[in-house]
Structure 1
């Protein structure tokens, strides 16, 4: 009996040692780095944390025999704050993956850190296409959208349906600048003229001067190259100054359900936008939306749905490998198509871009809506390989391998 017990104890010790070598620190720790109090708090924030929790719960709270832990913090839309949190999490709290990260300037800073320290970076909130360009990383997955895709969708559609002269109201940081540059290029390629632009600080509350400049430009279309609270405030100001009544059309390049709810369908009806997720696509998307609404009282944004999907796919890769080394796990994520409530047949490329369908949406009128959160009608489903930047066009060194 003593021999059997000793042999069993030795086997268990060896098994534990093997597990420790494959799953670092005996757990998988995912940090949601997000905006808790700024312009993107409603579209990401605690809603992104809840989306990550739903993904973890679908695994029963464990993966590859170890527990999964979710932590979170507010990066305050400041690259130095985000970088400090990322470094602390990795160096002292053994975080394996960082998820979400709205605000592209923060994401670019965090990507440098996760690349150097071999941690998975599951981007859902940040949209700068540079993330999968020259500074791309083998441990990054940019999941939900980017400025290139938004520009391609709106640029081709907008000239035909809105008008051939455009003016930009742009948020003044990496995301807005990239979106304006990308959309301008597509618009011009499709025969439009850019008559001017104005830039505003992130989190602006007074858009009067910016809207007046847009109004005086005489442009048929006013492109709002911003997001969330900035978009809502810009639309409210444009209505106050009578831009829609004067024949100028507002084109929102990035809007979320919380924005539509804040504006109300009377104010938002008719707005066109590009979105990365259709909550009414199929039974899986409707089921996830129903679960999320029951837990939060809100329809998930594409950012929040993207966090759920990215975390879920990351955990599936760990489960398949039985290990959490970031380079190996993200490589496994690239080998397996993404099929879940967010998308069907999604593909994670070598440059870190997850390619999936995008949707040209239009906000319903009050008469068209069937009730709470029934905001959108799909004008077109755009295949991902038609709207995302070609793999060989972004300058990512990994794309050449």
Structure 2
């Protein structure tokens, strides 16, 4: 921590000898080290995991493996969706391995734990895979960013249009931990604000495999919409089992967080006509397709929104290090907030005072098998929602960094 400040000041002191000398002194320990702490083997590994590691490598490749003349190193670990495992690895990385930033953190409980450790060590976290709204609201940190999504935006964009078009009554099936709770809470709020009603909910222990009792409760409720406040393998199993129980014949299935790999996993026949909010689609435009092609060549599949967001976060972290001439978290955060953010993932984006990246979201529906014209051609984009309309306004934020 102290070494980072010394090097940053030394760089400023030698500014008269040229920009390159200043920049070199701003890199602590002579290397920029990025840690990807993710779910490599569990319920969320398809949405993040190895694909997020690959996305990070693609961002580093764009810098030629160096920033400010210093090497960029990537370290990876599996947090197993356990906060104690994640916390132990974070401390090890910060204290022993001198990691500058820990990224991904796809699990809200894990993210909240590691954010606290990073702040105490004067290091940075970039949450790309976790969505609890409190990450950048009441639990916000000056050393953290929430880059891809939160449950507020997903719930607002994913439910209000459906309520307004006639899906008035809802039932939630919710993963029983902070992420699922946040999705259900935000979803219920926007359903009610749009004139709808929540008839009930069931919470299951995460991760889950048998959803029969919860699906039967949703079916017997008579709700027009059944919302899954879950993700990854859990969501895929819920959709498959919902089709087996015949819920799709009378009720609309709504994913509060769904990825393209989830659609691929359950197949278009089971997932067709599902509506949800997305933050990235590989076939959106030339920029998204160019990145997706690079990803596909190495992964054999298209990137999820969370993996594209991980690429964006690492890329812009390196841009901020380069622009600021330092890897000190204070310098990087200040620079990120002053930079326009634009890449294959983020459009019209800006980092706010609360650490949330504000960018466009998309309302999508899943194509039928007949509509799909090529592999991974899965979405119809129904609407683009500007970030300032999708995310929580600062006036509602409980983040202590925000001046009300």
Same fold (TM over 0.5): yes
- Count residues with an aligned counterpart: 388
Cα drift, residue 202 of structure 1: 1.7
1: distance between equivalents of 2:395 and 2:331?
Answer: 23
2: distance between equivalents of 1:278 and 1:337?
Answer: 21
The aligned runs of 1:130-169 (5 Å cut-off) are 130-161=134-165, 163-169=167-173
SS of alignment partner, residue 253 of structure 2: strand
Cα drift, residue 327 of structure 1: 1.5
SS of alignment partner, residue 400 of structure 1: coil
| Corresponding residue number in structure 1 for 2:365 | 362
| Corresponding residue number in structure 1 for 2:113 | 109
The aligned runs of 1:295-310 (5 Å cut-off) are 295-310=298-313
Cα drift, residue 18 of structure 1: 6.2
Cα drift, residue 161 of structure 1: 3.2
Cα drift, residue 17 of structure 1: 9.1
The answer on whether the counterparts of 2:104 and 2:128 sit within 8 Å (CA) in structure 1 is yes
Alignment partner of 1:351 is 2:354: yes
The aligned runs of 1:48-127 (5 Å cut-off) are 48-127=52-131
> Which runs of 5 or more residues in structure 2 are unaligned?
1-13
2: distance between equivalents of 1:149 and 1:122?
Answer: 18
SS of alignment partner, residue 223 of structure 1: strand
Cα drift, residue 392 of structure 1: 2.7
Alignment partner of 1:396 is 2:360: no
| Corresponding residue number in structure 1 for 2:287 | 284
Cα drift, residue 20 of structure 1: 6.4
How high is the TM-score relative to the length of structure 2?
0.93
The answer on whether the counterparts of 1:355 and 1:385 sit within 8 Å (CA) in structure 2 is yes
SS of alignment partner, residue 96 of structure 2: helix
The answer on whether the counterparts of 1:19 and 1:26 sit within 8 Å (CA) in structure 2 is no
The answer on whether the counterparts of 1:39 and 1:202 sit within 8 Å (CA) in structure 2 is no
Instruction: Give the 4+ runs in structure 1 shifted more than 4 A.
Output: 14-21
Cα drift, residue 19 of structure 1: 6.0
Alignment partner of 1:226 is 2:230: yes
SS of alignment partner, residue 248 of structure 2: coil
> Which runs of 5 or more residues in structure 1 are unaligned?
1-10
| Corresponding residue number in structure 2 for 1:243 | 247
SS of alignment partner, residue 270 of structure 2: helix
Alignment partner of 1:39 is 2:29: no
| Corresponding residue number in structure 2 for 1:3 | none
1: distance between equivalents of 2:122 and 2:300?
Answer: 36
